């Protein structure tokens, strides 16, 4: 059993995983008054990067400037530390269950190259969409559902509904 | 102690980042251990060969929701102090549809892609790079989107208020719907041909 657990194929029961995730989310609300997030940390990174490379441009931009203030760097954002934690926690789990490995995972019907091109495209779309919706699957959909926010639940339905449709259109990428 | 602790100023600000790191670790561990570092496992939900996303996502949502309602009822937390994302009607739907498209092409969402990055998935690294580019693209093109982005703000409205329902009734119906979906998922999984990944 121990051997089997460490060969990378073992996942915890999804309902146990869900309860764990739910308790973490609940604890986040109890302690901070806000939910979890993911895309917000990337936004902070983008704002910091652009601000470092072209400070004038960042201050003039209608979007970046909303997240810049003089005394606090956008990188010191709560979500950036949270995402560093996500990386550490996932690394810990990957170590525990023997999943650490450099690998491009893709369907046998497509090449790694094709997979990577579509991964970048998918990431870009997610990046754009998460700005419109003011959060991604974590910050808008999951955290929103926990507090029954209309925005979160509507965004969740839009994400999953459209993902179902497009997944079937691009079925060849996956199965 | 009555929560939420930081807005109630029961925890000094200095602890903020340490708490963020610890909660993030729990988040990352739960996602990775459930299998969210694999895009093909995630995509199983959309083709019916593995409903792990549906199970984990809805179990987590109803667990956290029930915890919040219970703590609020017991007076251990003031739920009215919790942050609610403002609902900009069209922008939220447009954003959700674009994200769904990205999900179908990329096989990850931002949080799960970070889990993939942490265990060495190269496709997850490319997805994360795409996220960076996408957010930059949005920011640079913001003047074009700003009207849509800022229109129809209904504020931090709750779904049950919008539907004119009582909170606890809606929460109960959501739990029933989730359990119904869990049974449905198990039924579909049995019918669908297994996909090796």
CB atoms A133 and B99 under 8 Å: yes
> How far, rounded to the nearest angstrom, does the alpha carbon of residue A2 sit from its chain's CA centroid?
31
- Please report which confidence band the pLDDT of residue B197 belongs to, taking 50, 70 and 90 as the band edges: confident
Question: What average pLDDT does range B139-165 have in this prediction?
Answer: 95
Would you call A149 helix, strand, or coil by DSSP? strand
Among A101, A135, A152, the domain-final residue is A101
CB A106 within 8 A of CB B43: no
* Structural domains counted in chain A: 2
CB atoms B130 and A122 under 8 Å: yes
pLDDT at residue B8 tops 60: yes
Q: Which residue has the tokens 């990944």?
A: B197
A120 and A97 both lie in a single domain: no
Query: Chain B: residue nearest A119 by CA?
Result: B106
A108 and A50 both lie in a single domain: no
A75 and A109 both lie in a single domain: no
pLDDT of residue A143: 97
pLDDT of residue B193: 83
A95 and A19 both lie in a single domain: yes
CA distances A136 to A5, A26, A170, Å, are: 32, 18, 21
Measure in Å the smallest separation between the Cα of B19 and chain A Cα atoms: 8
pLDDT of residue B43: 96
pLDDT > 70 in chain B, percent? 100
A20 and A89 both lie in a single domain: yes
A71 and A114 both lie in a single domain: no
CB atoms B64 and A101 under 8 Å: no
Q: Which of A151, A153, A160 to mutate to test the interface with B (most CBs of B within 10 A)?
A: A151
pLDDT of residue A70: 60
Nearest-CB residue to B160 (from A61, A125, A148): A148
- Please report which confidence band the pLDDT of residue B1 belongs to, taking 50, 70 and 90 as the band edges: confident
pLDDT of residue A74: 60
Cis-peptide, bond into residue B133, ω within 30° of zero: no
Where chain A has pLDDT below 50, the residues are: none
A116 and A40 both lie in a single domain: no
Token pair, residue A158, equals 């839009």
Q: Which residue would you say has higher pLDDT here, B128 or A73?
A: B128
* Residue numbers of A between 3 and 62 with CB closer than 8 Å to B: 11-12, 14-15, 17-36, 38-39, 42-43, 45-47, 50, 61-62
Q: Measure the CA–CA gap between A20 and B146, rounded to whole angstroms.
A: 38
Which has the minimum average pLDDT: A79-83, B1-5, B158-162? B1-5
Kindly state whether A129 is in contact with chain B, defined as any CB-CB distance less than 8 angstroms.
yes
Domain ranges of chain B: 55-84+158-192, 85-157
A32 and A82 both lie in a single domain: yes
- Please report which confidence band the pLDDT of residue B126 belongs to, taking 50, 70 and 90 as the band edges: very high
Query: Chain A: residue nearest B194 by CA?
Result: A175
Token pair, residue A143, equals 């955290």
Cβ neighbours around A67 below 10 Å, total = 17
A22 and A69 both lie in a single domain: yes
Q: Measure the CA–CA gap between B177 and B196, rounded to whole angstroms.
A: 30
A54 and A113 both lie in a single domain: no
Among A48, A79, A101, the domain-final residue is A101
Nearest-CB residue to A86 (from B100, B115, B171): B115
Kindly state whether B29 is in contact with chain A, defined as any CB-CB distance less than 8 angstroms.
yes
Q: What pLDDT, in 10s, does the model give residues B11-31? A: 887 888 999 999 999 999 999
Measured between beta carbons, which residues in chain B are less than 8 angstroms from residue A163? 46, 99-101, 103-104
Measure in Å the smallest separation between the Cα of B126 and chain A Cα atoms: 5
Query: Chain A: residue nearest B46 by CA?
Result: A164
CA distances B190 to A101, B50, B119, B185, Å, are: 31, 10, 30, 9
Nearest-CB residue to A86 (from B28, B38, B159): B28
Measured between beta carbons, which residues in chain B are less than 8 angstroms from residue A130? 95, 99, 110, 131, 134-135
Among A67, A101, A135, the domain-final residue is A101
Q: Measure the CA–CA gap between B191 and B183, rounded to whole angstroms.
A: 13
CB atoms B32 and A38 under 8 Å: no
A135 and A64 both lie in a single domain: no
pLDDT at residue B130 tops 90: yes
pLDDT of residue A13: 97
Would you call A136 helix, strand, or coil by DSSP? coil
A93 and A10 both lie in a single domain: yes
DSSP assignment of A68-99: --SSS-GGG-HHHHHHHHHHHHHHHHHHHTT-
SS3 of chain B: the string is CCECCCCCCCCCHHHHHHHHHHHHHHHHHHHHHHCCCCHHHHHHHHHCCCCHHHHHHHHHHHHHHHHHHHHHHHCCECHHHCCCCCCEHHHHHHHHHHHHHHHHHHCCCHHHHHHHHHCCEHHHHHHHHHHHHHHHHHHHCHHHHHHHHHCCECCCCEHHHHHCCCHHHHHHHHHHHHHHHHHHHHHHHHHCCCCCC
Bridge partners (DSSP) of residue A149 are: B158
CB atoms A164 and B46 under 8 Å: yes
pLDDT of residue B9: 86
Q: What pLDDT, in 10s, does the model give residues B90-119? A: 999 999 999 999 999 999 999 999 999 999
ipTM of the complex as predicted: 0.96
Containing domain of residue A51, as a range? 1-101
């Amino acid at each position: 059993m121990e051997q089997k657990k460490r060969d990378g194929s073992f996942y915890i029961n999804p309902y146990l995983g869900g309860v764990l995730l739910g308790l973490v989310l609940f604890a986040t609300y109890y302690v901070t008054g806000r939910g979890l997030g993911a895309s917000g940390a990337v936004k902070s990174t983008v704002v910091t990067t652009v601000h470092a490379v072209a400070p004038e441009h960042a201050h003039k931009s209608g979007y970046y400037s909303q997240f810049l203030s003089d005394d606090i760097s956008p990188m010191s954002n709560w979500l950036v530390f949270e995402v560093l934690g996500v990386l550490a926690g996932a690394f810990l789990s990957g170590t525990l269950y023997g999943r650490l490995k450099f690998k491009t995972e893709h369907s046998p019907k497509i090449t790694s190259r094709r997979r990577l091109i579509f991964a970048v495209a998918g990431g870009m779309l997610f990046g754009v969409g998460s700005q419109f919706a003011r959060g991604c699957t974590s910050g808008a959909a999951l955290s929103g559902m926990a507090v029954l926010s209309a925005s979160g639940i509507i965004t969740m339905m839009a994400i999953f509904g459209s993902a179902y449709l497009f997944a079937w259109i691009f079925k060849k990428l996956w199965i | 102690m009555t929560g939420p602790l930081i807005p109630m100023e029961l925890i000094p600000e200095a602890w903020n980042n340490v708490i963020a790191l610890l909660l993030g670790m729990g988040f990352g561990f739960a996602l990775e251990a459930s299998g969210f570092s694999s895009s093909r496992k995630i995509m199983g939900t959309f083709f019916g060969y593995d409903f792990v996303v549906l199970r984990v996502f809805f179990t987590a949502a109803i667990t956290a929701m029930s915890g919040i309602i219970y703590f609020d009822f017991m007076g251990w937390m003031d739920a009215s102090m919790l942050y609610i994302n403002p609902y900009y009607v069209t922008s939220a739907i447009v954003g959700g549809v674009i994200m769904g498209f990205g999900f179908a092409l990329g096989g990850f969402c931002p949080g799960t892609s970070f889990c993939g990055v942490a265990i060495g998935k190269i496709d997850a690294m490319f997805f994360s790079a795409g996220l960076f580019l996408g957010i930059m693209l949005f920011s640079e093109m913001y003047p074009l989107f700003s009207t849509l982005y800022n229109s129809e703000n209904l504020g931090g409205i709750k779904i049950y208020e919008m539907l004119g329902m009582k909170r606890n009734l809606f929460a109960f119906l959501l739990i029933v719907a989730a359990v119904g979906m869990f049974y449905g998922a198990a039924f579909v999984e049995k019918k669908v041909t297994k996909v090796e990944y």
